[in-house]
Amino acid sequence: MPSDYVYHSNFWLEEPEDANPFAAKACYCHGYDVYGQIISRAGWFEYLLLMFKGERPQPAESALLERLAMVLANQGPKEASIRAAMNGGVAGTNHSSALMSSLAVGSGLYGGSQELEVCMRLWSECGQNIEHWKTRLQDPQEDERADIWPNLEHAPGFDPNGDDIPTTLRQSLDLLVEYAPSEGALHWLQAHRKALETSVGYPVSISSVAAAAFVDLGLDRDQGSMLYLILRLPGAAAHALEQKKMGWKKFPFYSSAIELEDDPGPYKPPVSEGKP
């Protein structure tokens, strides 16, 4: 008998132990026995795709997601979400706090999951029509209303602080294409990258590449965004732990770099007139 309050799920079923209704004897993910079959027979990325999409993926799809996960696993300290986790780690914060800071800073419209979501929305709007892409990249907003997310300040999926596509990103794109469907988004992005970069004026970023991979995997923008956030956490964790051991004395403290343009100087109490 369930309690008065129930949760509904279309993909997760639990069967209770005979002696304890709160403990599971078996769990099923989209109908498959998790502890009886999935864990022993599936790979991590096969399980992930099953969980998100509802069906066992093709081996090529699991392989593509695994390669993408490796591309995203560690973007290094230059990436803002990693740097955020390092700022937590260096002071010996809670591990979850470091990862929360990484998720928060890694969620943005510049290089984060919100930018990826916009990219995936544009994929659904523009498909493989390059003229549509060129138009929408110049004006990617959904509508004129204000929102909790600010307006984009650059073409989504492109890096306004870049000159040319970095070698590492080009290597990643070329590698992922080898695992991607021949008529899919990654192939199209590789073939049209230079034309799009010329139109935008700056190079593609990791958001574009990841979005195209998620499109090829048949994921929607919400699923893509969640996976993008998850798959970038390993590097954040490793860098946070490293800085904890490294110690704060070796970590940048920018105080001397910050210049106050209108510094009023030390406080001077007002002088009372007419008094000695």
Partner 1 sequence: MNHERLFKTESHWLTRIGKAYLTERVVLHGKDLHHELDHLEWLHLYLYSILERDPGVNVAKMLNSYWVGTSYPDPSIWPNHVAALAGSVRTTPSLGLMAGLSISEASIYGRRPEVRALDFFYRAGRWCDEGNALEEFVDNEKSRGRILYGYGRPLANTDERIAFTLDKAKEYGFAEGRYLKMAFAVYEHLNSKYGYSMNVAAVHAALAADMGFSCEEYQLILTPCFVTGMAPCFRDTKRRPEGSFFPIRCESIVYHGVGKRDWEDTPT
Report the interface residues with partner 1, using CB under 8 A: 1-3, 5-16, 21-24, 28, 30-33, 37-38, 41-42, 54-59, 94, 96-97, 100, 104, 144-148, 150, 154, 160-163, 201-202, 254-255, 257-264, 266-267, 269
The secondary structure element, H or E, covering residue 29 is strand 20-29
CB 172, CB 71: distance < 8 Å: yes
Closer of 127 and 160 to partner 1 (Cβ)? 160
Q: How far is the CB of 154 from partner 1 (least distance, A)?
A: 8
CB 181, CB 160: distance < 8 Å: no
Closer of 76 and 201 to partner 1 (Cβ)? 201
Q: How far is the CB of 170 from partner 1 (least distance, A)?
A: 16
Radius of gyration of the chain (CA): 24
Q: How far is the CB of 143 from partner 1 (least distance, A)?
A: 8
Q: How far is the CB of 7 from partner 1 (least distance, A)?
A: 5
Closer of 73 and 237 to partner 1 (Cβ)? 237
Q: How far is CA 162 from CA 110, 157, 159, 172, in A?
A: 12, 12, 5, 17
Q: How far is the CB of 1 from partner 1 (least distance, A)?
A: 7
Q: Which residue type sits at 68? A: L
Closer of 31 and 247 to partner 1 (Cβ)? 31
Long-range Cβ pairs for the range 6-12 (8 Å, 24+): 11/51, 11/54
Closer of 128 and 218 to partner 1 (Cβ)? 218
* Residue labelled with tokens 């008998």: 1
Sheet holding 32-33, edge to edge: 12-17, 20-29, 32-33
